Amino acid sequence: MFPGKTSETEIIKQATSLFQRHFKYAPPHTVAAPVSIPLFGIETLPAGGLVACAVVNYYVAIAADPTPDGKVRIAFSYSDEPFTAYVDALYSEPWPAGLIPLRETLITLQKRGIHFTGFKAAVAEEIPHPIKQARDGALIVATSLMVRRLRRLALTPCLKAKPILDDLNRALPLTSEERINISELAGEAIKHGGLTCHPLATVKPLLYAKPSTLVVLDTIDQAIEYIQIPGVLLLLAWSESSGLGFFPDLDLFNHAYLNVARLTGHSLLRKSEPHQLAQYKAYLDQMDYALCLHTLFEIRRIAALCRLADQPETAFTVGRLFTTRTQELSSTAPKFAPYLTQLLDSISRISGILGAGVLMGTIMPTLTCIVEAHMIETCYDSLSKVLKESWGKNREIWVSTPIGALKV
């Protein structure tokens, strides 16, 4: 699925070429939004602490040019002729199914007081079939960014809109207000259009997945930082939230990993009320030990699959870090010692162990790690070494810590 993935630059080139073929001139504006496919760990974000997970990005790109005639003309790869509609009557014609997210976004923008006079556009994408549902979210974000670029104004109602171009005619980054606006309109577009993607899961992350940049997303209870490394988005989250919810929605696989990383239970609810801490400890007491064993079986299965991969670079590799902490973890949580020891020993026999709450691997190619937040300062040097060994010396890598983002 992942070999041969088209880059953001290549998708933009495809959109540009499609625009030129249909409209006979080069488009002045291009935008792109990623379809972020979580490979591991994204469900653990509500659990608090410092969590890292990996997602692979596929892209939807739009090349566009504004027009004053009140018409929307959209070229796409599976049609011989551009689709045409009127800005003031977007529901008057039946739209192709693949462009419904675009239509719903335009309508929602209009309802929010963000108007445009028309445009020509070409949409390009290369998204594997199993993840087509997530594509709708990316198209919503790309459409919003396109309208922003065409208007040359921020994505806020006209009376509040500000220019978005700098002195060199480059588009400025999204403001916090614009991010909130896009997230809200995405939810409306998804609801009204009967789309299948979930706005929180697919749209909000898309807004912050920018190549080679570090962006902070301020939500109610957490700051999420996204860093794009070639082909893979390393998502790092630091949260002081006490609203853990005790993981009712986590699937068994991620549930198991989360518990293995948090077996001791300390420092998780540092700022929580005493009754919440007691509730969490009670939850740990009831934890099914089978979850730890399930984690072990999943690791073995993944390792076996990766050993069967055709290309050497997709092999499963895990560094070795903090093995001396195994006994300390076991003594801190004696109830879980047999299961923890079995799990760590088995992982070690497969491909190495990162103890003390850190589990790391590269899978096709994926970087995965779970780090206990209170340990990050002590493990930073070792973590940096493993990151460099796993990812090479020529990549820029950032690690989010309680004391800020640190460059490896």
Q: Looking at domain 8-42+58-213, which CATH architecture does it have?
A: 2-Layer Sandwich (3.30)
Which three-class secondary structure string do you get for the chain?
A: CCCCCCCHHHHHHHHHHHHHHHHCCCCCEEEEEEEEEEEECHHHHHHCEEEEEEEEEEEEEEEEEECCCCEEEEEECCCCCCEEEECCECCCCCCCHHHHHHHHHHHHHHHCCCCCCCEEEEEEECCCHHHHHHHHHHHHHHHHHHHHHHHCECCCCCCCCCECECCCCCECCCCHHHHHHHHHHHHHHHHHHCCCCCHHHHHHHHCCCCECCEEEEECCCEEEEEEEECCEEEEEEEECCCCCCCCCCCCHHHHHHHHHHCCCCCCCCCCCCHHHHHHHHHHHHCCCCHHHHHHHHHHHHHHHHHHCCCCHHHCCECCCECHHHHHHHHHHCHHHHHHHHHHHHHHHHHHCCECCCCCCEECCCCCEEEECHHHHHHHHHHHHHHHHHHHCCCCCCEEEECCEEEEC
> Are β-strands 83-86 and 49-66 bridged in parallel, bridged antiparallel, or unpaired?
unpaired
Which pLDDT score is estimated for 36?
59
**What confidence score (pLDDT) does residue 61 get?**
94
Cβ pair 56, 6 in contact under 8 A: no
Segment 83-101 shows an average pLDDT of: 89
* Among the ranges given (29-33, 203-207, 308-312), the one the predictor scored with the smallest mean pLDDT: 308-312
Distance CA 71, CA 120 (A): 8
- pLDDT at residue 155, rounded to an integer: 83
Residue 265 zone, left/alpha/beta (φ > 0; ψ -120 to 50; rest): left
Highest mean pLDDT among 23-27, 179-183, 288-292: 23-27
Mean pLDDT value across the chain: 56
Q: Count CB-CB contacts under 10 A for residue 11.
A: 22
Using CA atoms of 292, 293, 297, 300 in order, give the dihedral in degrees to the nearest 10.
Answer: 70
- Between 360 and 205, the higher pLDDT residue: 205
Q: What is the pLDDT of residue 73?
A: 96
Give the Cα separation of 98 and 26 in Å (integer). 24
- pLDDT given at position 241: 28
Task: pLDDT band for 14, please (50, 70, 90 cuts).
Answer: very high
379 or 94, which is more confident?
94
Give the pLDDT confidence of 202-246 residue by residue, as tens digits: 454 445 433 222 222 222 122 223 333 323 222 232 222 222 222
238 or 20, greater pLDDT:
20
Percent of the chain exceeding pLDDT 90 equals: 17
Model pTM?
A: 0.54
| pLDDT tens, residue by residue, 268-302 | 223 334 444 444 444 444 433 334 333 333 443 33
Domain boundaries, the chain: 8-42+58-213, 242-407
Whether 401 and 376 have beta carbons less than 8 Å apart is answered as yes
Res. 184 pLDDT band, cuts 50 70 90: confident
Percentage with pLDDT > 70 across the chain: 38
- Tell whether the model's pLDDT for residue 52 goes beyond 50: no
pLDDT at 388 over 90: no
Residue 101 vs residue 174, higher pLDDT = 101
* More confident position, 263 or 139: 139
